[in-house]
């Protein structure tokens, strides 16, 4: 009898705990539309041009620079990449064509910005990175 009572009390406690989770947090998914991702995204060191292709695929082009000073004056290194990214909810994974196998660029879309992280060697110019926060400056 004590085991049955303990099991019933445990079930009630778990049910009560699940009801305390705010509904906005439970099962929260953020899905972005083609209109939200399509366009040109920029920051001071780079530009992403993105076009939704359907079936959770994006056509992505990246162009980036790294500015530095030399004794001869200002200079830049640059790098470019393109390819297909795969998006799920609000996050896309981009592995540029011709990049090293360990190159992974993660793009997270929010209402007014694109946050990008980069892992591995992506074959851009020295110190050029896609990582950063980008603002949408135009629609495609």
CA–CA separation, 93 and 108 (whole Å): 9
Q: For 7-27, what is the mean pLDDT?
A: 43
- Which residue is it, tokens 């359907």? 54
Q: Alpha-carbon torsion 108, 101, 129, 140, what sign?
A: negative
What are the pLDDT digits (tens) for 53-83?
999 999 999 999 999 999 999 999 999 999 9
CA–CA separation, 113 and 108 (whole Å): 8
Q: Where are the chain's structural domains?
A: 34-138
Q: Does domain 34-138 have CATH number 2.40.128?
A: yes
Low-confidence winner among 8-12, 14-18, 30-34 (lowest mean pLDDT) = 14-18
Task: Provide DSSP, 34-86.
Answer: HHHH-EEEEETTEEEEEEEEETTEEEEEEEEEEEEEETTEEEEEEEEEEEEEE
What are the pLDDT digits (tens) for 91-129?
999 999 989 999 999 999 998 899 999 999 999 989 999
């Amino acid at each position: 009898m004590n085991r049955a009572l303990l099991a019933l009390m445990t079930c009630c406690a778990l049910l009560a705990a699940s009801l305390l989770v705010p509904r906005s947090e439970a099962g929260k998914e953020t899905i972005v539309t083609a209109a939200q991702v399509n366009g040109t995204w920029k920051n001071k060191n780079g530009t992403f041009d993105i076009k939704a292709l359907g079936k959770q695929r994006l056509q992505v082009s990246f162009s980036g620079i790294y500015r530095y000073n030399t004794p001869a004056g200002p200079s830049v290194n640059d790098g470019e990449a393109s390819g297909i990214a795969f998006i799920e909810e609000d996050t896309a994974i981009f592995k540029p064509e011709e990049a090293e196998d360990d190159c992974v660029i993660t793009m997270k879309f929010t209402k007014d910005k694109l946050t990008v992280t980069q892992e591995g060697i992506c074959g851009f110019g020295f110190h050029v990175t896609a990582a950063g926060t980008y603002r949408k400056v135009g629609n495609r």
